[in-house]
């Protein structure tokens, strides 16, 4: 009799929607009307599920969870999921596939700054083995056409980011695959305490402006154990960032792991304590890059790239203080960001260009640039690599090619 009662109790708990043994309410987007056939617009169903998860239904339930089930494809128009939520933390498990509209004409909001956004949600954990597909090929084609015609805008502007987080402290994002964003894939803005891990981000090498992960005005961000190959920066660290750790990233194709660009249109920008470690760059346009615009102000300091593997990277090490997009008037300016305390250590591998290191600093100069145990050879066995530097001071140990601006010890 006791066994029968226990079985009945378990069935009742399961039917109530609570995760047994965890005091956790579990919601499924299908129960809120999501169809998941890849053609029906499921945006409103997702918003209804989010309202239940984030509102009173999720309050006092520990860490309520929203499930996006496998075996289904959910079509979403641009949408934002707003916080704060009533519960202390929120979980979103993505096992299925989420897709954007396949053509520009099908987008219902041409002014959206992102495709999927989370705003003001603390302790958010998004995880799973699912896929987010931005279906960006139509956007890329129109962007290239507009650029060829020197047009400043196209009729409908692409969202700057596919998956965007704004003011989401103590955020976790893991396990997902992100492909073919119209522009950038993931944006982290005004967040403190972020862990991004085990992601796969992919877009064609010729897809314009498809950054993997963009971080701005954020602190204590950890990006690790992921594969990123896109048409732009694998990771870009923008102004207002500090204490950023990037570890074990396989980058390529793409434009490398970049600090910047910074100081655009005379802007004051600061970035410090960015540490890149145990990363590989395969067939990338750049690897370790710092880029600032002429005329900006502020600083870039306490940056390190350590234990880096290069496989036919075009610009393995580059500081570019004369960065320009070719549209603006980028004449030399008397002002520039101060770049200082940058360390490159344990770089090994090959460069496509003979110029393997370029430290192109402004008249203000780059200060305390350190090279330690650098060995970059040419991808063409018949050629020799060299370094270029301007207005740079610092030291190097066991560095090949030799960097003429730095005090040399070793080779």
Residues annotated as catalytic (active site), given as ranges = 255
Distance between CA atoms of 1 and 232, rounded to whole angstroms? 65
DSSP assigned state of 56: G
Half-sphere exposure of 66 (CA within 13 A, CB side): 27
Q: Which two tokens stand for residue 215?
A: 């971080």
Q: Which two tokens stand for residue 273?
A: 């304590």
- Beta partners for residue 65, in sequence order: 26, 91
Considering only CA atoms, give the Rg of the chain. Answer: 24
Q: State the pairing for strand pair 338-351/297-313.
A: parallel
Spatial CB neighbours of 154, under 8 Å, sequence gap ≥ 6: 104, 142, 143, 145, 146
Q: State the pairing for strand pair 392-400/37-41.
A: unpaired
- Beta partners for residue 297, in sequence order: 268
Angstrom CA distances, 403 to 317, 355, 362, 395, stand at 11, 11, 17, 9
Nearest to 19 by CA among 104, 73, 93, 81: 93
- Beta partners for residue 327, in sequence order: none
Distance between CA atoms of 306 and 248, rounded to whole angstroms? 11
Token pair 């690790």: residue: 224
Which of helix, strand or coil describes residue 12? helix
Q: Which two tokens stand for residue 185?
A: 């894939």
Distance between CA atoms of 362 and 270, rounded to whole angstroms? 17
Cβ atoms of residues 174 and 199 within 8 Å: yes
Cβ atoms of residues 114 and 86 within 8 Å: no
DSSP labels for 273-285?
A: EEEEEEEEEES-S
Q: Which two tokens stand for residue 269?
A: 């920008």
């Amino acid at each position: 009799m006791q066994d029968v009662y226990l079985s009945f109790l378990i069935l009742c708990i399961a039917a109530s929607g609570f995760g047994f043994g965890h005091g956790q309410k579990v919601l499924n987007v299908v129960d809120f009307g999501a169809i998941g056939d890849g053609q029906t617009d499921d945006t409103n169903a997702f918003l209804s599920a989010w309202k239940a998860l984030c509102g009173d239904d999720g309050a006092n339930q520990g860490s309520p969870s929203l499930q996006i089930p496998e075996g289904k494809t959910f079509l979403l128009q641009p949408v934002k999921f707003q916080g704060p939520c009533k519960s202390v933390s929120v979980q979103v498990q993505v096992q299925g596939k989420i897709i954007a509209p396949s053509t520009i004409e099908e987008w219902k909001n041409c002014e959206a700054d992102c495709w999927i956004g989370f705003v003001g949600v603390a302790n958010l954990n998004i995880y799973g083995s699912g896929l987010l597909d931005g279906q960006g090929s139509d956007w890329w084609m129109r962007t290239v056409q507009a650029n060829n015609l020197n047009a400043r805008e196209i009729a409908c502007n692409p969202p700057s980011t596919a998956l965007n987080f704004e003011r989401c402290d103590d955020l976790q994002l893991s396990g997902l695959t992100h492909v073919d964003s119209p522009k950038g894939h993931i944006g982290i803005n005004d967040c403190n305490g972020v862990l991004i891990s085990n992601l796969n981000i992919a877009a064609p090498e010729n897809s314009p402006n498809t950054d993997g992960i963009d971080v701005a005005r954020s602190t204590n961000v950890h990006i690790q154990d992921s594969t990123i190959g896109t048409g732009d920066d694998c990771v870009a660290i923008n102004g207002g960032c500090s204490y950023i750790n990037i570890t074990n990233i396989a980058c390529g194709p793409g434009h490398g792991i970049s600090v910047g660009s910074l100081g655009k249109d005379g802007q004051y920008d600061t970035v410090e304590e960015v540490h890149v470690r145990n990363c590989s760059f395969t067939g990338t346009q750049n690897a370790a890059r710092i880029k600032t615009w002429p005329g900006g102000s502020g600083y870039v300091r306490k940056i390190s790239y350590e234990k880096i593997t290069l496989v036919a990277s075009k610009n393995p090490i580059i500081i570019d203080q004369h960065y320009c997009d070719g549209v603006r008037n980028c004449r030399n300016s008397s002002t520039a960001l101060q770049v200082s305390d940058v360390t490159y250590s344990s770089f090994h591998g090959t460069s496509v260009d003979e110029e393997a290191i370029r430290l192109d600093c402004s008249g203000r100069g780059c200060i305390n640039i350190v090279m330690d145990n650098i060995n970059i050879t040419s991808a063409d066995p018949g050629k020799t690599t060299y370094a270029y530097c301007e207005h740079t001071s610092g030291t190097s140990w066991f560095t090949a090619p030799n960097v003429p601006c730095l005090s040399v010890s070793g080779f």
